[in-house]
Amino acid sequence: MNILKYFNQTLMMPFTGGLIVMFIFAACSENLSTSPDPSISNNEVQSQASLASQISPNNVVELIAKHEGDDYIFELSADVIPSGWTTFRLINDSHSTHFAYMAGVPQAAKDSAASDNTELLDYWIQHVTNPFQWFMDGIIPGKEPDDGDAPTKYAETLFPAWFGDVSPSGGPGFIGGMSSTETTVYLDEGEYIVECYVKNGEGDFHSYLGMIELLTVTGESSVAEEPVATTELNISTDGIEFDRHISAGEHIVKVNFDDQTLYDHLLGHDVHLIRMDTGTSVAEVGKWMNWMDPDGLVSSSSANSLGPATFLGGVQTMTEGSHGYFHVELEPGRYAWVSEIPNPHSNKMLEVFNVPGGRALGR
Question: Which residues here bind Cu ion, judged by CB under 5 A?
Answer: 98, 196, 198, 206
Residue 249 CB, nearest approach to Cu ion (Å):
29
Q: How many CB atoms lie within 10 A of CB 322?
A: 23
Q: What is the CA radius of gyration of the chain?
A: 19
Question: Within 13 Å, how many C-alpha atoms sit on residue 98's CB side?
Answer: 33
Q: State the Cα–Cα distance between residues 282 and 284, nearest whole angstrom.
A: 6
Residue 204 CB, nearest approach to Cu ion (Å):
11
Give the three-state DSSP class for 219: strand
Cα dihedral 125, 129, 134, 135 in deg (nearest 10): 150
Q: Residue 82 or residue 176: which is nearer to Cu ion going by CB?
A: 176
CB contact set of 276 (below 8 Å; sequence gap of 6+): 309, 333, 334, 335, 336, 352
Q: State the Cα–Cα distance between residues 23 and 26, nearest whole angstrom.
A: 10
- Closest residue to Cu ion, judged by C-beta, is 196
Q: Residue 206 or residue 323: which is nearer to Cu ion going by CB?
A: 206
Helix (H) or strand (E) holding 288: helix 282-288
Q: Give the closest residue to 272 by CA, choosing from 320, 308, 326, 226.
A: 326
Residue 335 CB, nearest approach to Cu ion (Å):
22
Residue 198 CB, nearest approach to Cu ion (Å):
4
Residue 211 CB, nearest approach to Cu ion (Å):
5
Q: Residue 21 or residue 298: which is nearer to Cu ion going by CB?
A: 298
Q: Residue 81 or residue 198: which is nearer to Cu ion going by CB?
A: 198
Residue 282 CB, nearest approach to Cu ion (Å):
23
Q: Residue 212 or residue 330: which is nearer to Cu ion going by CB?
A: 212
Residue 72 CB, nearest approach to Cu ion (Å):
6
Q: State the Cα–Cα distance between residues 25 and 2, nearest whole angstrom.
A: 11
Amino acid letter for position 189: E
Q: State the Cα–Cα distance between residues 145 and 204, nearest whole angstrom.
A: 10
Q: Residue 84 or residue 172: which is nearer to Cu ion going by CB?
A: 172
Q: What is the largest CA-CA distance in the chain?
A: 64
Q: Residue 157 or residue 300: which is nearer to Cu ion going by CB?
A: 300
